Structure 1
Amino acid sequence: MSNIKSVLIVGAGPAGMTAAMELSRFGIPVRLVEKTSKAATTSRAVGVQARTLELFEQRGMSSQLVERGNQGIAVSVYGGGKRVFRLEFKTIDSKYKYILFISQAETEKTLRDALERESIKIEWKTSMIGFSKTEHGDHLTAILRRADGSLESVDCSYLISAEGAHSTVRETLGLPFEGKSLDEQYALGDFYIDGDLPDSDLHVFSSEHGFLGMFPMGNKRYRLIASNPISKPSKDTEPSIEELQQLYDQRSPIPVKFHDMSWSSWFHINSRMIHHLRHGRIFLGGDSAHIHSPAGAQGMNTGIQDMIDLCWKLAMVLKGQAKDDLLDTYSSDRIPVIENVLTKTERLTHSIGAENPVFRSVFNHLAPWFVGTDFVQHNSTERMSQLSLNYRESPLSENHGSPGTLKAGDRIPDLPVTLLNVEGSADQQPKPSTLFQLLDPSAFTLFYSNISDPSKTHAEINGTLRSWHHLMHGHQIAAVQNDDDAFRHLFGSSSSILLVRPDGYVAFAGNEGSIPQLAKYCDKWLVAKPLPTNQEGRHA
């Protein structure tokens, strides 16, 4: 480990800080540079989705965020002077049955606290102004400009661009940022309100004048976003609270008075992405790789999850535990996710912002019936919360006869289970646990259940997978007594063996007859640890 050069991370926003946190957890040295002089204080992204909270929970961060944020349990959509429908999060498959509305400044503070625990310091007022496109064996070289204007040449093992929409790395590599700029202009503002607008909901007002959203930050504080502002946006001006009030009164049937505005701005929407996230020893993620409409509060969450997908792979390769091909799966995993986010946010932006009176009439009459069905309610909220995200088409996902609904590429949900011990262990008593408690974000987790002969299967797993034991933790699990419906749904009623990635997605799904295939899978992606030999030269 001591001979591993640092990973250089450019950009200390949510994506960059997540990358630094993840790599440091694995013991990988990092340098995190940020061109601005201090942490941002404006809210920008304001929604943390359930899947991000689950991943943060496994890293000891979610409770701090939840304590600081406001739980939005539904999305209320209005049109024609009334509420058209209410999309509720109560059915999603997570204990976080809400969008957590919280200033991005608070989210970043939580990430900085995590970095401090890992003794990582952000190098403020430090810009990366260039890097070598020709790689030198096991590293590349970047040029930093420090706060005093001096230049530093840095050798690093890999470079991660989390710089944002104006990425120097992306522009230097000449990567097409494909997509489009939407014509509409938007106004933003943060302020307090007087009135009866429930802060349990995200409120979306869709009208012939355009779209307006009210994001509840808690304690009567809201973020407003509105299309078609009244005045002409200019770099020399900011939206006034009077204009934001006028936009609200124009589009909302609920009387509310704005006051104490802390920040406002203009912006327009770009919907763009690159199509390859790895370029040799360089990776891009977050806004460096994709930007899109804020509709649905997807952007920051997608960037954070980019880095969680990348960094366990990068850490294992750097530590000699996995093969270099594993790094190519970062792009193949995340590009379909990014494409889906761009497509869905564009559609959502166009539908809620449509001004055509015929469309508005159809929307106001049909949407309550369509969205009111249980199927649409559940599936819409699962997608928005990013719980339905999966990697089933990833090269890392292999299925070999798993009997339950969990397939390779699926997210492991949280579920109460009984932890069993194999015969011969010191403690024979079953123990209550949950799947999340058993997952290890720093290693693979092997779950096996409904095994006909546990001792025999355990011995076969130990023998067949002994070259990779140091990279995984195994658990034999069963349903909680008298409550096995959910367990049987996920794992089936016959033997099941699941290998789970460090980011909580199933890598390999099979049964007790699939252990040889599991060994081949490990050999394909992971580096085997040499086995000890006895005096005769045979494996012990």
Structure 2
Amino acid sequence: MPEPDITSPRQTPEVLVVGAGPSGLVAALTLLRNGVPVRIIDKAAEHRIGQRGAGIMPRSLELFHQIGVAHEITKRAITTPVVKLYEMPEGRKALRTFEMSPVLDATPSCPYMNILMLGQDHLEEVLRASLAEYGVQAELATEVVALSQTPDYATATIVKYAGTDREAREIVSHPFIIGTDGARGVCRKLLNMTFLGETRNVENLIIGDIMVEGLEGDYWHMWGDASTSMVSLRPTETPNLFNFMLAGKDVNHRELSKDEDGLRAALTAGTGGQDHLVFGDFRWVSHYRPNMRMVDKFGEGRIFLAGDSAHVHSPTGGQGLNTGIQDSFNLTWKLALVYKGLSPLSLLDSYNEERLPVIAEMLNQTTTLLNQTFRSRKAESAGWVKGGSLLQLGVNYRWSSIVIDEQQSDYDLEDIDELDEFDDDDWVEEQQAAQRRAAVDSYGVGFDGSLRAGDRAPDAPDLSDTQLSDEHGPLCSHSLFDLFGATHHTALVFVESPEQSYAPVIKALRQQPRNTTRIVIIVRSGALVPSVRGVQYVLEDDLDHASRAYTVQGGCDTVIVRPDGMVGGIVRGAEGVKRYFRRIFA
């Protein structure tokens, strides 16, 4: 149809999310939960199918809990199967079995401890269903072809397609645009941001999903090794559907990825030519070249990137999808406050500051795993993790300029010569921030277990609600994860005794913008419950779960948890509360 004559952009209050994969859906969902209108579009004509990024890390499950979808995801997902490695060339006898990721017991502070497997297509179904509850659906066959911005808005030229014919073109000005359209998407290119890093042409892979008959669905099956020739068949949440990987120096990856019959023959040969294995229909197939690349900034002004639009990675370690989800959580709570006029635009600078070191370390760790996978003859090296830092529970922002930790000085003020001559808090804070950046450990590999501002906020269950009780005791209990949320800060005020002076802290918290801060008083087990007004919860820590998880020092009694589930502040009193929120709100 003819294009309309457009002379000026149409103004809209919606934030535009470009790309309807997990990062984009999470970004849209968290914005909607914050009361921010959203439009989400995707170039694809149909929703993508296939396992793709199937491993969901514990940290992602914690964040999904905050937006109300964790239960549905855990209900659909399966645990990481035990690997069965076969002797070649016959491929029938199992040499050994091993856990790619060991099963760990939940703890009070970490209720999600295991990697779950759920196809990316099914994860997106869950997120789209939650999005639909807000009356929002992703617009398919809809593409951004141009971007520009001013200090006040970002403008996108959007084209809608019907089949192969151009259907309509519109130019729309949005308060913000978030690009989550993937490594091959246009947002990064239109912003003239280039990927830094490497593309590996040696370790080529063919990956996809295939129906297989005659194979146990309780094991992750492997033949050979990635340094020479390897076939991996991992069961999925769909019976008889296996996610496969074919790797090897002598495999013609590009040609086989286009030849289904040839690919079936290669899988048959790679598994020892067993007659009882029947390889059926393919759900999807992709020729994959490992990329370890990232942009040098995740956005500026009113246009931002998240997920694969900002960083691409090797398939080892299961970090990519999970890291993109964390990008979206980090960005959107800040963007929502700026959108509402509660925070300055400069708050969004912390998105780059906080996420860039995390992504750099993610690429470092997954590249190390990739090298181990293709240079080792041990299948245990092939592509997944054996617990540890890649569960992402140690990801932190301790170096961030918007977090405050008053347990101990990050910069020993007594060691600054002639400090008395400087009456400049900003200067002192700049020095503190410089020292924090110099000691970045974004995955928390070397941490000693002590809680610091910038860390993931732990859970604590079995907290008795003293405000809902009768003569027999509390009528209900809470966990901290149920009180945290993507729409508000949560201030935890730990009260040891009735004599503790906590009223000034509560007053300072209540002075923050309306509905932005939830106040929770936590009383140590056995202590007298104080009479408190103006707070949402007064909880008794019956089993000391909260006290153990939030062991803080230096006279600090207040922990401020951000909407992305990270500790923003650990402070001593009312002045610390004010100091933290001055960095957040306008």
* TM exceeding 0.5: yes
| Offset, 1:270 | 1.6
- Partners of 1:432 and 1:267 lie apart in 2 by 49
Residue 237 of structure 1 corresponds to which residue in structure 2? 259
Superposed CA deviations along residues 239-264 of structure 1, whole A, max 9, x for unmatched, are 622212322339xxx99824323333
Residue 410 of structure 1 corresponds to which residue in structure 2? 455
Residue 142 of structure 1 corresponds to which residue in structure 2? 156
Q: How does 1:219-298 map to 2 (within 5 A)?
A: 219-228=239-248, 230-234=251-255, 236-238=258-260, 240-249=263-272, 257-263=277-283, 264-298=285-319
| Offset, 1:19 | 1.1
Distance 1:496 1:231, change over 3 A: same
- Partners of 1:75 and 1:450 lie apart in 2 by 49
1:353 is aligned to 2:367: no
Superposed CA deviations along residues 154-210 of structure 1, whole A, max 9, x for unmatched, are 010111111111232211222121111112221123234456756365869635524
- Is this contact kept in 1: 2:296–2:356, CA < 8 A? yes
| Offset, 1:99 | 2.0
- Partners of 1:426 and 1:460 lie apart in 2 by 27
SS in structure 2 of the partner of residue 109 of structure 1: helix
Residue 401 of structure 2 is aligned with which of 392, 395, 401? 395
AA partner of residue 223 (structure 1):
N
AA partner of residue 186 (structure 1):
L
Residue 225 of structure 2 corresponds to which residue in structure 1? 206
1:487 is aligned to 2:510: no
Residue 334 of structure 1 corresponds to which residue in structure 2? 355
Residue 505 of structure 1 is aligned with which of 551, 566, 569? 566
- Partners of 2:459 and 2:223 lie apart in 1 by 31
| Offset, 1:95 | 3.0
1:432 is aligned to 2:477: yes
SS in structure 1 of the partner of residue 39 of structure 2: strand
AA partner of residue 127 (structure 1):
E
Distance 1:474 1:205, change over 3 A: farther
AA partner of residue 559 (structure 2):
L
Q: How does 1:192-203 map to 2 (within 5 A)?
A: 192-194=211-213, 199=218
- Is this contact kept in 2: 1:308–1:503, CA < 8 A? yes
Distance 1:232 1:317, change over 3 A: closer
AA partner of residue 154 (structure 1):
V
- The share of aligned pairs that are identical, in percent, is 29
Superposed CA deviations along residues 316-346 of structure 1, whole A, max 9, x for unmatched, are 1111122222101111111111111111111
AA partner of residue 110 (structure 1):
V
Larger deviation: 48-57 or 499-508?
48-57
- Partners of 1:486 and 1:453 lie apart in 2 by 18
| Offset, 1:436 | 0.7
- Is this contact kept in 2: 1:310–1:327, CA < 8 A? yes
- Partners of 1:95 and 1:255 lie apart in 2 by 44
Superposed CA deviations along residues 33-64 of structure 1, whole A, max 9, x for unmatched, are 11111211232222222211121122121222
- Partners of 1:352 and 1:255 lie apart in 2 by 29
Q: How does 1:462-481 map to 2 (within 5 A)?
A: 462-468=506-512, 470=514, 471-477=516-522, 478=524
Distance 1:278 1:130, change over 3 A: same
SS in structure 2 of the partner of residue 150 of structure 1: strand
- Partners of 1:384 and 1:103 lie apart in 2 by 19
Q: Please, what TM-score do these two structures have when normalized by structure 1?
A: 0.83
Higher helix share: 1
Distance 1:54 1:232, change over 3 A: closer
- Partners of 2:346 and 2:335 lie apart in 1 by 11
AA partner of residue 506 (structure 1):
V
1:447 is aligned to 2:492: yes
SS in structure 2 of the partner of residue 313 of structure 1: helix
Residue 514 of structure 1 corresponds to which residue in structure 2? 573
Q: Please, what TM-score do these two structures have when normalized by structure 2?
A: 0.77
Residue 124 of structure 1 is aligned with which of 140, 144, 153? 140
Residue 88 of structure 1 corresponds to which residue in structure 2? 102
SS in structure 2 of the partner of residue 465 of structure 1: helix
- Unmatched tracts of structure 2, length 5 or more: 1-10, 89-93, 409-448, 526-539
Distance 1:275 1:205, change over 3 A: farther
Distance 1:504 1:269, change over 3 A: same
SS in structure 2 of the partner of residue 233 of structure 1: helix
- Partners of 1:333 and 1:380 lie apart in 2 by 26
Superposed CA deviations along residues 271-325 of structure 1, whole A, max 9, x for unmatched, are 1110201221110111111111111221111111111111010001111122222
- Partners of 2:296 and 2:276 lie apart in 1 by 44
Superposed CA deviations along residues 433-469 of structure 1, whole A, max 9, x for unmatched, are 2111221221000012243446730x21232333206
**Aligned alpha-carbon RMSD (Å):** 3.3
AA partner of residue 544 (structure 2):
D
Residue 431 of structure 2 corresponds to which residue in structure 1? none
- Partners of 1:181 and 1:164 lie apart in 2 by 16
- Partners of 1:205 and 1:475 lie apart in 2 by 55
Distance 1:258 1:166, change over 3 A: same
- Partners of 1:426 and 1:90 lie apart in 2 by 35
| Offset, 1:348 | 0.6
- Partners of 2:501 and 2:14 lie apart in 1 by 44
AA partner of residue 152 (structure 2):
D
- Partners of 1:110 and 1:141 lie apart in 2 by 30
- Partners of 1:346 and 1:107 lie apart in 2 by 26
Distance 1:32 1:99, change over 3 A: same
SS in structure 2 of the partner of residue 143 of structure 1: strand
- Is this contact kept in 1: 2:177–2:303, CA < 8 A? yes
Residue 45 of structure 2 corresponds to which residue in structure 1? 37
- Partners of 1:255 and 1:52 lie apart in 2 by 41
